[in-house]
Amino acid sequence: MYSLYRATTQEEAELKFIIFKDKIPVFIEVAKEMCNVHGLQKLCDILTEHPSWTLAHLAAHFGLHDSFNDPRVNCYLNSSEPETGMSPLQVAISTQNLKTVQMLVAASCSLEHLDNEANSVFHYAASTTKEIIGTLAQGSPPRCLNGRNKNGHTPLHIACLSDKPDCVKALLLAGADSNIAATKGDEDATMEPSYVGNYLQNNPNTLYLKDVKSGGTPLHWANSRLVIEALIDVNCHINAVNFEAKTALHVMVERNKIDCVVALLSRQADADIGDKDGNRPLHLAVKTGNQSIIQALIVFGVDLDVLNNAGETARHLMTKDQEAKLLYYLAAVGARRCLPDVSGCTDGCRYNGTYEGIPPPKVSCNKKCYTRRNLKRIEIWIK
C-alpha cells in the first residue's frame, strides 16, 4: 500500500486526486523505474510543486531519456507550462542534465521558446555549464541568443550576474553580442553589434574573467593592450558600462593596468564618464594612488575639477599620505582647491590652504636623455 498524499479536508484531497490521477498512472507505465515508494514520493512532491507540468516536463526533470520515445510523452515536447511558461527543454536545462538536453535538442525541440518572463533557453543555460550552452548553440546561433528578458537582461548578462566565467566565454563563442547594455537605453537602437567569438576562438586565453560578476563587455575583461586594440577593431563599444556603470577605462584604472589605460585613451575612450557613484577614472586613479595613471589621464586632457556624486574632486580625495607623492602632479597643472563650503578637507585641497605637494627630484643628464627617449617612443606609439 502507498500513501501518496494526506489531506486535512476532502476538497484538498479531491484537488490533489485530479492532478495525480491523470499523470501518475500513465507516467509510471511509461517510466517503470519510478514505480516504487521512493520514485512515487518524488513524483508526488514535484507534482505538488508544479501541478500543471506535463508528462514531458516530468520526464525532463527526472532525466528519463527513454520516456521521450513514447508518443504520450513526446506529444508534449514543445508544451508550455501555464504558471511559469517553462518548456520541457528549459526544465532539463535547469536540472543541468546534459544528456537530456542533448536528446531534446536532437529531437528538434524548439530553441526559440520563451517563458512568461521572456527567458529563452539560453537565459536558463547561462548559469549552468559551458557544455549545455555548446549543445544549444550547435549550428546557426538562434535569434534568442541575444534577446532580453523582462528585466532587460540578455543571457550574457545572466552569466555575468551568476559569476560564471566559463558560461560567459561559451556564450561569446556562440555568437553573443557583447555591445548590448544591461539596461536598455536610447543608444541600443544605433549601436553596432560586436561579435567576438571568432577572436576568442583564435585567442582563447586573452580575457581576465574573474570579475565577470560586475558585467560589462570583453573590453572590461581584457588583460593587455594588444587585446584591447583587437577588441576595439571588432567593434567592442569603448564606452560601454558594466552593472556598476563603469567603463573599461574605470576598470583598467582600478586594476592599475597603465598599458591598457593608455590604449583606451589613445582610442578616444571618454575619461569623463561617471560610474554609479559619479567617480571618473581620475577619482579612481587617486584612490589607487597610481602616479603613472594620473599623469596619463592629465596628458589626455581629463577634467581635473569634475565632482563625483558626493561633491568631491579628485584633489579632495587625496589622503595626507598620498599628498606628498601625488598632489604636486594635480596642483602643477591647475587642479583647483575645494570651495569654502566643502568639509573634510586637508591642507592640500582646503580653500585657503597653501600646501601644493612636493615636486619630484631633479633628474641627472643621463636620466633626462633616457626619459626623453622613452617619451619619444610613447609619442610615436600613440600616433
Choice between 43 and 7, residue whose per-residue pLDDT is larger:
43
| Domain end marker among 110, 143, 159 | 110
* Pair (260, 372) in one structural domain: yes
* Pair (207, 262) in one structural domain: no
* Pair (49, 159) in one structural domain: no
Q: Provide the residue range defining the domain that includes 158.
A: 125-243
What confidence tier does 186 reach under pLDDT thresholds 50, 70, 90?
A: very low
- Altogether, the residues listed in the chain come to a count of 383
- Residue 192's region, left for phi above 0, alpha for psi from -120 to 50, else beta, is beta
What's the confidence (pLDDT) of residue 376? 54
Task: Give the DSSP letter of residue 284.
Answer: H
User: Whose CA is closest to 80, among 53, 103, 45, 46?
Assistant: 53
* Pair (163, 285) in one structural domain: no
Q: Is residue 37 part of a domain?
A: yes
Average pLDDT of the residues in 17-26: 89
What confidence tier does 375 reach under pLDDT thresholds 50, 70, 90?
A: low
What's the confidence (pLDDT) of residue 197? 86
Q: Is residue 365 part of a domain?
A: yes
Average pLDDT of the residues in 286-314: 94
Helices and strands: H and E segment counts in the chain: 21, 0
Q: Is residue 116 part of a domain?
A: no
Which residues, in sequence order, are CB contacts of 338 under 8 Å at separation 6+? 313, 315, 316, 345, 349, 350, 351
Q: Is residue 238 part of a domain?
A: yes
What confidence tier does 126 reach under pLDDT thresholds 50, 70, 90?
A: very high
* Pair (41, 93) in one structural domain: yes
* Pair (155, 261) in one structural domain: no
Q: Is residue 272 part of a domain?
A: yes
Structural domain count of the chain: 3
User: Whose CA is closest to 282, among 264, 303, 267, 262?
Assistant: 303
* Pair (155, 51) in one structural domain: no
User: What sign has the CA pseudo-torsion 109, 111, 115, 121?
Assistant: positive
Q: Is residue 19 part of a domain?
A: yes
Whole-number Å distance between alpha carbons of 134 and 101: 11
| CATH classification of the domain holding 365 | 1.25.40.20
Render 210-252 in DSSP notation, one character per residue.
Answer: GGGGG---GGGGB-SHHHHHHHHHTT--TT---TTS--HHHHH
Name the phi and psi angles at 208, rounded to 5. -95, 95
* Pair (255, 238) in one structural domain: no
Work out the mean pLDDT of the chain and round it to a whole number.
88
